[in-house]
Amino acid sequence: MRKIFVQAANQISIQQPLCNDWVEHPIVYSEPFCRSIDPDFKPYVSPVEGRRMGKILKRALAVSLQTLRDCQLEKPEAVITGTGLGSVESTEAFLLDMCQNGEQLLKPTHFMQSTHNTIGSLVAIQTQCHGYNATYSHKQISFESALYDAWLQLKAGEIGNALVGGHDGTTPNYFRLLELADYVGNGMQGTCGEAAMAALLRTEDQTFANSPLCELVSVKLLHRPTREQWQTVIASMQLPEDLVVFSGENGHPANDALYAELLPAILPGKATIPYKRWFGECFSASALGFYAAAEYIHLGKENNALLLTLDRAGDAALVLLKR
């Protein structure tokens, strides 16, 4: 089977954007909810175009284009995107207008940008990429679902590279809804953030000037697995001894309990790095966890990393990265 590499990756989050300052100097937050730190978008989007785009679109475009530039690649062979909510800002604007003012004088822009696949399509339009294009929206494992699709196609040799992204925004109103649903807040010892992350994956058949960040070994998606199924999956992955788990604790008791219960049972004795302490929680937080793990391996801080994502509704994902 072909080897697959993570060639480059970039993020915009509640840490300094488009760089890895967070590794040495993470910004520490005590607020329950923070918006991302935006970079200067001028190198990626013209001001005229930018005015018509919601924040999530500008961020997605910036991380995508920067990642392609890092690879000196004009366009990828495929664009595969994960997003839990799509452009929640646009969805909210249209919804609020409709609920408050009725159905007669609504404007199309917010609706056009509210569709989940707006993000992936924009990247395709900007890069003139007619290749495979898909968007996954499956809560906390939206990004891993996109990764899974890319991994299948790369392994099979159907494509040689793919730009895989994970993007979600959080608005004050949506944060309030998440609090009501007890997903975040309510005494949570952590922050709710936003995510924009794009990574270029490639097979070993393609060569690039720079060395890759790490190897992507496997991606597994699970739904309400029993303990027995967990054991089977872990065994099938042939995990290296020297392994650190990038785990999704976010400071919320109900969420963290999932990890506290599972980790000692299926991955006893493995060190964990709860990456959300840097990036906060949102539906695409695991995309940042993936990026952080890749970056850690690239910097030589770890040799092998397993990204573990658990959703309170029962979805789960495992991603194995290797030097």
Partner 1 sequence: MQKNRIVITGAGVISAIGVGKEENLRSLQSCAEGVAPVRYLQTEHTECMVGEVKLTNEEMMDRLGIPGTTPVVRTSLLGMMALKEALQEAGLGQEDLSQMAFINGTTVGGMDKSEQFYLDFLKEPVEPNAPVAYIKSHDCGSSTDMIADYFGRFGMTTSLSTACSSAANAIILGARMIASGEYERVVVGGAECLSKFHLNGFNTLMILDREPCRPMDATRAGLNLGEGAAYLVMESEASAQERGAKVLGVLSGYGNACDAFHQTASSPDGIGAYLAMQQALEKANLQPLDIDYINCHGTGTPNNDPSELKAMHRLFGNILPPFSSTKGFTGHTTSASGSIEAVFCLLALQNQFLPVNLHFVSPICDEENVSAVNVPVTATTQHLQQPVHRVLCNAFGFGGNDSSILLEL
Part in contact with partner 1 (CB under 8 A); list of ranges 12-20, 24-32, 125-133, 261-269 = 125-133
The answer to the question of residue 134 lying near partner 1 (CB under 8 A) is yes
- Give the residue with the Cβ less far from partner 1, 17 or 165: 165
Nearer to partner 1 by C-beta: 19 or 112?
112
Minimum CB separation of residue 81 from partner 1 in Å reads: 9
Interface stretch with partner 1, choices 2-10, 20-28, 63-71, 124-132 (CB under 8 A): 124-132
How far is Cα 148 from Cα 80, in angstroms, rounded to an integer? 10
Q: 49 to 88, contacts with partner 1 by CB under 8 A?
A: 79, 83-86
Instruction: Point out which span in 3-11, 23-31, 94-102, 188-196 binds partner 1 (CB under 8 A).
Output: 94-102
Closest separation between CB of residue 109 and partner 1, Å?
9
List 121, 186, 206, 272, residue binding partner 1 (CB under 8 A): 121
Q: Which of 44, 246, 283, 291 binds partner 1 (CB under 8 A)?
A: 283
Sole binder of partner 1 in the list 106, 235, 257, 271 (CB under 8 A):
106
Using CB under 8 A, pick the residue from 8, 93, 164, 178 that binds partner 1.
178
Among the listed residues 10, 64, 87, 113, the single contact to partner 1 using CB under 8 A: 113
SS3 per-residue string spanning the chain: CCCEEEEEEEEECCCCCCCCHHHHCCCCCCCCECCCCCCCCCCCCCHHHHHCCCHHHHHHHHHHHHHHHHCCCCCCCEEEEECCCCCHHHHHHHHHHHHHHCCCCCCHHHHHHHCCCHHHHHHHHHHCCCCEEEEECCHHHHHHHHHHHHHHHHHCCCCCEEEEEEEECCCHHHHHHHHHCCCCCCCCCCCECCEEEEEEEEECCCCCCCCCCEEEEEEEEEECCCHHHHHHHHHHCCCCCCCEEEECCCCCHHHHHHHHHHHHHHCCCCEEEECHHHHCECCCHHHHHHHHHHHHHHCCCCCEEEEEEECCCCEEEEEEEEC
By beta-carbon proximity to partner 1, the closer residue of 25 and 176 is: 176
Phi, psi of 40 (to 5 degrees): -75, 120
- Between CA 84 and CA 79 the distance in angstroms is 17
Task: Tell me which residues in 219-248 interact with partner 1 (CB under 8 A).
Answer: 221-224, 226, 229
- Which residues contact residue 294 at a Cβ distance below 8 angstroms, ignoring those fewer than 6 apart? 6, 9, 199, 213, 214, 305, 321
State how far the Cα of 22 lies from the Cα of 15, in Å rounded to an integer: 6
Residue from 10, 67, 145, 191 that binds partner 1 (CB under 8 A)? 145
- Residue from 102, 187, 268, 269 in contact with partner 1 (CB under 8 A): 102
Interface with partner 1 includes 131 (CB under 8 A)? Answer: yes
| Among the residue ranges 42-50, 65-73, 262-270, 309-317, the one whose residues contact partner 1 (CB under 8 A) | 309-317
Residues binding partner 1: number (CB under 8 A): 69
Among 3, 37, 50, 137, binds partner 1 (CB under 8 A): 137
Q: Give the whole-angstrom CA distance, residue 109 versus residue 153.
A: 34
Interaction site with partner 1 (CB under 8 A): 79, 83-86, 94-96, 98-100, 102-104, 106-108, 111-118, 120-122, 124-125, 127-139, 141-142, 145, 148-149, 152-153, 155-156, 173, 176-178, 180-181, 183, 221-224, 226, 229, 283, 313-315
